[in-house]
Amino acid sequence: MSDCKASTECQFNRAVAAGSFLFRLDGKVPVTTARLINFLIVPPTSSYIFKLFCFGTKLKSTTTSTISKPSSQTYSTDTKYPDMAPVVLILGFGPRVGTSVAQAFKNSGYSIALASRKGTNSKTDEGYFSIKADFASPSSLPGVFSAVKSEFGFAPSVVIYNAAALTPPSDPSSVLSVSAEAVTKDLNVNVVSPYVAAQQALAAWETLPQDAKKTFIYTGNAQNELIIPMPPMMNLGIGKAASAYWIGLADTLYKAKGYRFFYADERHPDGKFKGMALDGPAHGEYYLQLVQHPKGVPWQATFVKGQGYTSFD
């Protein structure tokens, strides 16, 4: 921890000393909303925020895959959008991973649809189609896919689930003091909504050209493999572990049909858990590689910035 504690303290010591704050998991500035999706409560004397940068089990890196730059394709339709570029739907849009992924796909020629609680149901200044949705309510997902189809004339060939939720325990000394209601709410965001999104994607892909690559990417982390001994991370870890299973199963059973499901997990080069040190542009670059369905990349698509797919078996 000594390697990164100093720089982390430099960023957060004033805020922690001043009292409890809500911090984005992506390390951005404090916010005041009580919503816990993508946020972490930091108590005055907590070292959790520092551990997020440093904690992880050192694992051996055995495989690295370098993948060529992807190419886009257009779909000819009879709608108001003839010969339009394929659509990527990003579910959960934040200032780091979501923003970087959207920019990367835009630069590669994709049309962009975004869904989040702050969606406007209109075009953004960047030309993205913004949709309002609350992933704590899985029943909202069918409406999101319908809105994309209505706007662009056809379904998204790429669906990226980037939302996440956690609720810290009411008693910091007892991880099991998280209420059952909070566990259920966070499971909706971390497991049920992405599952419903995958169901919707599967049905939508049947309407696209047969030769179009269809891809579902879930932004994961190492919690499906590593136990992170930090009580505030429990609900997030439950969700990541559960979703990793159904994503792996779906990829195994649908791969022959040309559909790929990926659990994307950025790591440090030594295999350590990245925590709040995730790199947004690295996600954008890697996700563009994944939509090409590169050979040798399994459903558990661990990666390192600048290296692409890296196995830590």
Nearest to 115 by CA among 83, 84, 76, 156: 156
Catalytic hit among 51, 213, 214, 240: 240
Instruction: From 93, 227, 72, 234, select the one nearest 160 (Cα to Cα).
Output: 93
CA separation (Å) from 169 to 91, 179, 190? 27, 8, 17
At what angle are helices 141-152 and 193-205 packed, to 10 degrees? 40
Clarify whether 240 is annotated catalytic.
yes
Please, is 295 exposed, middle or buried when counting C-beta atoms within 10 Å of its C-beta (0-12, 13-18, 19+)? Answer: exposed
Token readout for 272 is 């350590």
Q: Which two tokens stand for residue 245?
A: 């299973």
Q: With beta carbons less than 8 A apart as the criterion, state whether 304 and 64 touch.
A: yes
Known catalytic residues are 240
